[in-house]
Amino acid sequence: MGREKEKEKLSEKALNLLRSRLSDPNFIFRPLPDSPDSNYSKLKFIISTSVTEACNNSILLLGPRGSGKVAVLELVLSDLLQQYPEAISVIRLNGLLHSDDNCALKEIARQLCMEHQLLFSKVASFDDNSQFMIAMLRECGLAHKTIIFVLDEFDFFAQGKQRLLYSLLDAMQSVNSQAVVIGVSCRLDVDQLLEKRVRSRFSHRKLLFLSPSKEDTERFIEHILSLPMDSSLPHNYAAEFNGRLKKLLSDERFKELIDTYLSFNFTIGHLVRFLFQAVSYMDLNAGFLSLGNFKTALSSNQRQLKLECIRDCSVLELYMMVCMKRLEVKEQASYNFYSVMTEYKSIHDSFQTSDYYAANVCLRAFEHLLQCQLISFIDNKGHNQSVEFRPVKLLISSAELHQGLKSYQQCPAILLKLMDR
271-290 binders of other proteins (CB under 8 A)? none
Distance CA 284, CA 239 (A): 17
207 C-beta neighbours (distance < 10 Å), count: 19
Asked whether position 159 contacts other proteins by CB under 8 A, the answer is no
Kindly state the DSSP code that residue 67 receives in the 8-state scheme: S
Asked whether position 2 contacts other proteins by CB under 8 A, the answer is no
Nearest distance in Å: CB 135, other proteins: 5
Q: Distances from the Cα of 98 to the Cαs of 32, 95, 121, 132, 179, in angstroms?
A: 32, 5, 18, 18, 20
Nearest distance in Å: CB 97, other proteins: 19
Q: List binders of other proteins among 220-239 (CB under 8 A).
A: none
User: Looking at 26-34, 166-174, 363-371, 412-420, which segment touches other proteins (CB under 8 A)?
Assistant: 166-174
User: Cα 274 from chain centroid?
Assistant: 13
Toward other proteins, which CB reaches closer, 207 or 418?
207
User: Looking at 15-23, 186-194, 232-240, 241-249, which segment touches other proteins (CB under 8 A)?
Assistant: 186-194
Nearest distance in Å: CB 132, other proteins: 4
Toward other proteins, which CB reaches closer, 11 or 167?
167
Toward other proteins, which CB reaches closer, 92 or 306?
306
Q: Is 127 exposed, middle or buried (0-12, 13-18, 19+ CB in 10 A)?
A: exposed
Asked whether position 81 contacts other proteins by CB under 8 A, the answer is no
* Greatest distance between any 2 Cα atoms in the chain: 88
Q: List binders of other proteins among 395-414 (CB under 8 A).
A: 395-397, 399-400
| Ramachandran quadrant class, 209 (left: phi over 0; alpha: psi -120 to 50; beta: rest) | beta
Nearest distance in Å: CB 335, other proteins: 14
Out of 29, 266, 344, 366, the only residue in the binding site for other proteins (CB under 8 A) is 266
Toward other proteins, which CB reaches closer, 21 or 106?
106
Residues 11/287, Cβ–Cβ less than 8 Å? yes
Nearest distance in Å: CB 19, other proteins: 25
Toward other proteins, which CB reaches closer, 16 or 173?
173
Out of 1, 3, 4, 36, the only residue in the binding site for other proteins (CB under 8 A) is 36
Out of 74, 170, 222, 355, the only residue in the binding site for other proteins (CB under 8 A) is 170
Nearest distance in Å: CB 308, other proteins: 9
Nearest distance in Å: CB 285, other proteins: 34
Q: How many residues bind other proteins (CB under 8 A)?
A: 98
Q: List binders of other proteins among 90-149 (CB under 8 A).
A: 102, 109, 112-113, 116-121, 123-132, 135-136, 138-145
Rounded to 5 degrees, what are φ and ψ at 11?
-65, -30
Q: Is 201 exposed, middle or buried (0-12, 13-18, 19+ CB in 10 A)?
A: buried
Q: Distances from the Cα of 223 to the Cαs of 63, 342, 360, in angstroms?
A: 23, 62, 60
Toward other proteins, which CB reaches closer, 1 or 305?
305
User: Looking at 230-238, 276-284, 316-324, 392-400, which segment touches other proteins (CB under 8 A)?
Assistant: 392-400
Distance CA 261, CA 298 (A): 7
Q: List binders of other proteins among 326-365 (CB under 8 A).
A: none
Distance CA 183, CA 57 (A): 11
Toward other proteins, which CB reaches closer, 116 or 311?
116
Handedness of CA 161, 205, 97, 119 (dihedral sign): negative
| Ramachandran quadrant class, 226 (left: phi over 0; alpha: psi -120 to 50; beta: rest) | beta
Asked whether position 260 contacts other proteins by CB under 8 A, the answer is yes
Q: List binders of other proteins among 193-212 (CB under 8 A).
A: 196-197, 199-201, 203-206, 208, 210-211
Helix 291-301 / helix 252-262 crossing angle, nearest 10 deg:
20
**Pair type for strands 205-208 and 375-377:** unpaired
Out of 19, 42, 255, 402, the only residue in the binding site for other proteins (CB under 8 A) is 42
Rounded to 5 degrees, what are φ and ψ at 147?
-105, 125
Distance CA 6, CA 106 (A): 56
Toward other proteins, which CB reaches closer, 112 or 318?
112
Rounded to 5 degrees, what are φ and ψ at 216?
-60, -40
Nearest distance in Å: CB 75, other proteins: 18
Residues 174/203, Cβ–Cβ less than 8 Å? no
